[in-house]
Homo-oligomer: A and B are copies of this chain.
């Protein structure tokens, strides 16, 4: 679908003191990338004097035009790029792949000014970000996320890392990019299921931080599912803005503020860990059912009315996301929740809604309440 006229990208600032940077949300418009990137390079110590780049992508994204578009933009800034392609999928996000990338950086005589560009989904962003964080004590990083999840979630906040064989995301650090370039047109190539998974996080931002945004998702659901560029730009930009705002108040997850982002994730992670391995639940799908279950818990504590959960369920449903965990085994779910890192003093802590646009971290739920809830939700009877 050729566009005769492309708008200038929307810019979302991420305020982190001397580590501040901008996220550009564009629809095509790659000609604007050099002008966007140049000041970002000049602002950062490591970016100044950048002459080389390593573009990291996976074998799916390598077939799409984006790595080439990045290389062209870099070329116009006098930066010579080499491209490294890793197999797609979570298995690439490990120490072995990182070790191979370190060797490639050595082979291309990388120095502290070599730019790492991650072009792809969250796997590529987390892996490329980790390599950038740990090579030569920190290389400048440009994120070019191409999945909705990466655009609204993993490329914002500076969390980078790799998995161990048995534990996800456990090796890593915080490393902020010098800039993020998002082209929502890249979402046209994304499989429906991947798009839906990203939408679960988008819905989450509405619930936890912005009631008006939630309203707008309801109003605009058709256009979003139809991947209308203006709608995608709007929801991506607003999601980035909302997450960036939380991150700028709690960059290293130390004050507890960042915990609001975990709405839907306490039960969601348990679902993913216990039922997700067969592919039954992808992360975003687990978050969707997690949000519904946690909303039910908020009802039982008297925090929200039944209508709240109904409204949330309806929107997730329209986005094609699952909303029920009927049929799962409640025992392992509870065990998995008991291991959550938010817990303190043996009590399970969750982030629960008070009203649309506002959540709170609480340990008010008794383990018995939780057990009852899960028994009910996992049971065969319709709720």
Copies in the complex: 2
Cβ-defined contact, A137 with B174, below 8 A? yes
| Chain A: interface residue total (CB-CB under 8 A) | 28
Cβ-defined contact, B112 with A164, below 8 A? no
Cβ-defined contact, A171 with B102, below 8 A? yes
Nearest Cβ on chain B to A167's Cβ, whole angstroms: 6
Chain A positions 239 through 266: 1 when the CB is less than 8 Å from some CB of chain B, otherwise 0: 0000000000000111000000000000
A77 sits at the interface (CB 8 A): no
The residue that A138 contacts in the complex, of B136, B166, B173, with Cβ under 8 A, is B173
* Nearest-CB residue, chain B, relative to A98: B95
The residue that A134 contacts in the complex, of B45, B103, B171, B252, with Cβ under 8 A, is B171
* Nearest-CB residue, chain B, relative to A112: B341
A170 sits at the interface (CB 8 A): yes
Cβ-defined contact, A136 with B95, below 8 A? no
Cβ-defined contact, A106 with B166, below 8 A? yes
In the assembly, what is the distance between CA of A112 and CA of B341, in Å? 9
A223 sits at the interface (CB 8 A): no
Contacts of A166 in B (CB 8 A): 106
A303 sits at the interface (CB 8 A): no
The residue that A173 contacts in the complex, of B95, B99, B111, B137, with Cβ under 8 A, is B137
Other 13 A-B pairs with CB < 8 A, given A95-B99, A137-B253, A138-B174 = A45-B254, A99-B164, A102-B171, A106-B170, A112-B341, A134-B134, A134-B171, A134-B172, A135-B171, A136-B172, A137-B172, A137-B252, A138-B252
